[in-house]
Amino acid sequence: MSNGTDTNFVRGALAPERQPPVVTTGIIGLMRTRLFNSPTNILLTLISAVVLWLLLVPTIRFLFIDAVWQGSDRTACLAENAGHPVGACWPFIQAKFTQLIYGFYPEDQRWRANLTFALAVLLLAPLLVPKIPHKALNAALFFIAFPFLAFFLLHGGGLDGFAFYWIAELFGAAWTPSLTRFWFDFSMTAAFVTMAMLWFGGGWPNGRRAALSSALTFAGIAVVIVALRLDQGGLPIVDTRQWGGLLVTLVVSVTGIVASMPVGIALALGRTSRIPLLRAFSVMFIEFWRGVPLITVLFFATYMLPLFLPGDFTIDALVRVLVGIALFAGAYNAEVIRGGLLAIPRGQREAANALGLSYWKTTGLIVLPQALRHVIPSLVNSFIALFKDTTLVLIVALFDLLGQLRATFADPVWATPTTLFTGFAFTGIIYWIGCFAMSRYSLFVERRLDPHRR
């Protein structure tokens, strides 16, 4: 290399342009990497596109393009009056909307159902958002306080017809006047809540915080009693036979889902227990309920159970159905949860025993949380199945959403060729929204609890 005349390392012409990188993100990347990346995938993509076209186009035309949106009776949904092929008859849904939501619940008392819906959303929404604090208090309000409040709102009546009256009878307070018995019932409830707060709030050393929580609890109970006049007979009683529509669907499904979880956990722990008698009882209980169809359970709870009750003792038909569904779903949940318990290595329990933890602390703090995390997909699958199986209550004369819809078809004012399909499409959309919401939230919980993604 001399005087800069050596040009061995100097390019005399421009390098050719390189090909642009293949796009692997966005819609184009998705199509290139997953839909058209091989002859087989190309064929499957084309077949799927044709099937979707054949299904979606008629559905969209029926629900939106050819649908009738306004009208006061069946004439608006007839092809000769509309001037074109008629799709969905949405005026039928508008006319029957309140019946599909509330059933035959008295119109002047429907504010009670609306208030129950609103309180359920306000208490449930913070539980579903991880960043909102005070989950323990919120859970106590939703799972303990809300069921009692919902009972008095939807059913009506006062404390004299509730379990507190039986407690007063047990302690010899039946001879007292109504107001005195009410304060006796309230004091019993207050004492129970105080003990529970002090016990679960950290014991007597943390009594200051527990006392504040107890005071707020008593104040809330007093406000509810005064607002609903529970000491004066409460709100007008609405018999459960007047309930129907989406109200019954939500009551049955939510109660069944919530009540079946503790039943399933208890049975799963019992079946994996080392106590022979407890394990045998759990096995027989689970196998009995899993071997009986849900229809049989509903028939037995509705028509056969009253024959085994003593004297004049009666249980409401809806309550009998709720108990039967909770036990039936609890047996299935037990096997799902047992699978999660068996997936936990023995070393987890052995390490807890080495630290001196008791059986209940080991189970509640170490084993059970991990087991439930493993079986989230299976549990949500059971919840979705239970949400859809609520339609079976129609066979025991309880009109849920689908049953109420079938009852509306008997109205000759709306008898058209498309009314049937419109009603089923509407209820199908509601069921799909509920099932899809549970499915997506379960995926969110899975990702959040996945230790490998942290």
Q: What confidence score (pLDDT) does residue 364 get? A: 92
Structure confidence by residue, pLDDT tens digits, 310-347: 766 678 889 999 999 999 999 999 999 999 999 999 99
Give residue 436's pLDDT band: very low, low, confident or very high (50, 70, 90).
Answer: very high
Q: Where are the alpha helices (DSSP H) in 355-418?
A: 359-362, 368-374, 376-389, 401-408
Cβ atoms of 336 and 264 within 8 Å: the answer is yes
Mean pLDDT (whole number) for 252-279: 95
Percent of the chain, pLDDT > 70? 80
Q: What confidence score (pLDDT) does residue 192 get? A: 59
Rg of the chain over Cα atoms, rounded to whole angstroms, equals 30
Q: Is 349 contained in some domain?
A: no
Q: What confidence score (pLDDT) does residue 16 get? A: 83
Cβ atoms of 401 and 245 within 8 Å: the answer is yes
Q: Which residues pair with residue 103 across a beta bridge?
A: 243
Cβ atoms of 269 and 344 within 8 Å: the answer is no
Q: What confidence score (pLDDT) does residue 161 get? A: 55
For the chain, first and last CA: distance in Å? 58
Q: Three-class SS of residue 132?
A: coil
**Which of 188-197, 294-303, 328-337 holds the top average pLDDT?**
328-337
Mean pLDDT (whole number) for 426-450: 93
Q: Which residues pair with residue 245 across a beta bridge?
A: 400
Task: Tokens 């703090």: give the residue.
Answer: 365
Distance from C-alpha of 12 to C-alpha of 289, rounded to nearest angstrom: 86
Q: What confidence score (pLDDT) does residue 168 get? A: 47
* Enclosing domain of residue 38: 28-64
Q: Three-class SS of residue 157?
A: strand
Q: Is 56 contained in some domain?
A: yes
Going by the DSSP 8-state scheme, the letter that residue 236 receives in this structure is P
**Which residue, 185, 218, 234, sits at the end of a domain?**
234
Give residue 268's pLDDT band: very low, low, confident or very high (50, 70, 90).
Answer: very high
Q: Three-class SS of residue 23?
A: coil
Q: What confidence score (pLDDT) does residue 17 get? A: 83
**Which residue, 218, 234, 250, sits at the end of a domain?**
234
All residues at 6 or more sequence positions from 372 whose CB lies less than 8 Å from its CB, including other chains: 337, 340, 379
Q: How distant, in Å, are the alpha carbons of 141, 244, 314, 437 from that of 113?
A: 18, 11, 25, 22
Total number of domains constituting the chain = 2
Structure confidence by residue, pLDDT tens digits, 358-380: 999 999 999 999 999 999 999 99
80: pLDDT strictly greater than 90: no
Q: Three-class SS of residue 243?
A: strand
75: pLDDT strictly greater than 80: yes
Structure confidence by residue, pLDDT tens digits, 367-425: 999 999 999 999 999 999 999 999 999 888 889 999 999 999 988 999 888 999 999 99
Cβ-count burial of 241 within 10 angstroms (0-12 exposed, 13-18 middle, 19+ buried)? middle
Q: Is 220 contained in some domain?
A: yes
Q: What confidence score (pLDDT) does residue 37 get? A: 83
Q: Is 268 contained in some domain?
A: no
- 164 or 333: whose pLDDT is higher? 333
Nearest CA-CA partner of 383 in 297, 292, 257, 260: 257
- 28 or 408: whose pLDDT is higher? 408
Cβ atoms of 416 and 74 within 8 Å: the answer is yes
Q: Is 230 contained in some domain?
A: yes
Q: What confidence score (pLDDT) does residue 92 get? A: 95
Structure confidence by residue, pLDDT tens digits, 257-267: 999 999 999 99
**Which residue, 203, 234, 265, sits at the end of a domain?**
234
Lowest-confidence segment of 52-66, 213-227, 299-313 by average pLDDT: 213-227
Q: What confidence score (pLDDT) does residue 7 get? A: 55
Task: Tokens 């799709």: give the residue.
Answer: 87
pTM, to two decimals:
0.82
Q: How distant, in Å, are the alpha carbons of 13, 19, 21, 68, 187 from that of 16?
A: 9, 10, 15, 63, 90
Give residue 81's pLDDT band: very low, low, confident or very high (50, 70, 90).
Answer: confident
Q: What is the DSSP string of 288-315?
A: HHHTS-HHHHHHIIIIIGGGGS-TT---
Q: Is 374 contained in some domain?
A: no
Q: What confidence score (pLDDT) does residue 261 get? A: 95
Q: Is 52 contained in some domain?
A: yes
202: pLDDT strictly greater than 60: no
Structure confidence by residue, pLDDT tens digits, 93-122: 999 999 999 999 999 999 999 999 999 999
Q: Is 181 contained in some domain?
A: yes
Q: Which residues pair with residue 157 across a beta bridge?
A: 235
